């Protein structure tokens, strides 16, 4: 299999390491293959792709979209390095409020699948960082939401203080668990 899938401390959050094929010309890798992802439990369709460029010290997040427009994300870095974070925001989840963080970079080529019931954000530890991510639903402004990146109830160990933070990311409310509707036939 051209991928190594590693389960993380949040159910369905998966770290993906693609296999690299290198020779004198350079290298090649598969960054997505539906059948392999489905075999690893990632069965959602991806319908939108986004790309951002951020300078060192930028923090983006913590964002999510409410049902019925919740977005799962497959995140990868094309240049630079980020500390990528997902937080379980489901009220009735045994991992409610728990976060995971992984380093994604152009060099390690790792990807993170962020389930739709997570708030997501990242800190740019080495920029400029170009981040590419596919989503399982389209962006919908009326369903957009978020929580404060530094909410003490999360206790996220960010690698630095943000130098660049959007006004909306400064103004998100404190964490309040979300009543999450049935997702993909699985009550979560």
Q: CB–CB of 18/2 below 8 Å?
A: yes
**Active-site residue, selected from the candidate residues 63, 66, 120, 143:** 63
Per the annotation, the verdict on 120 as an active-site residue is: no
Per the annotation, the verdict on 63 as an active-site residue is: yes
Backbone φ and ψ for 25, nearest 5 degrees, come out as: -80, -25
What token pair was written down for 156? 């996220």
Q: What is the dihedral of CA 161, 164, 166, 169, to 10 degrees?
A: -10
Residue-by-residue DSSP string for 139-188: --GGGEEE--TT-TTT----SS--SEE-HHHHHPPPP--B-PPPBTTB--
- Parallel, antiparallel or unpaired: strands 164-165 and 58-65: parallel
Q: CB–CB of 177/94 below 8 Å?
A: no
**Active-site residue, selected from the candidate residues 120, 123, 133, 143:** 133
Instruction: Tell me the catalytic residues.
Output: 63, 133
């Amino acid at each position: 299999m051209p991928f190594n899938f590693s389960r993380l401390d949040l159910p369905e959050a998966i770290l993906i390491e693609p296999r690299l094929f290198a020779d004198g010309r350079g290298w090649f890798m598969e960054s997505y293959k539906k059948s392999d992802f489905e075999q690893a439990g990632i069965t959602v369709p991806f319908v939108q792709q986004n790309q951002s460029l951020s300078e060192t010290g930028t923090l983006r997040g913590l964002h999510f979209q409410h049902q019925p427009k919740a977005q799962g994300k497959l995140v990868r870095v094309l240049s630079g390095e980020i500390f990528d974070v997902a937080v379980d925001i489901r009220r009735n989840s045994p991992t409610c409020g728990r976060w995971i963080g992984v380093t994604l970079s152009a060099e390690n080529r790792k990807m993170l699948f962020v389930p739709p019931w997570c708030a997501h954000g990242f800190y740019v530890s080495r920029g400029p960082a170009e981040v590419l991510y596919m989503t399982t639903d389209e962006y919908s402004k009326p369903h957009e939401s978020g929580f404060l990146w530094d909410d003490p109830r999360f206790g996220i160990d960010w690698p630095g203080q943000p130098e660049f933070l959007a006004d909306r990311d400064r103004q998100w409310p404190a964490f309040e668990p979300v009543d999450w509707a049935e997702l993909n036939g699985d009550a979560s």
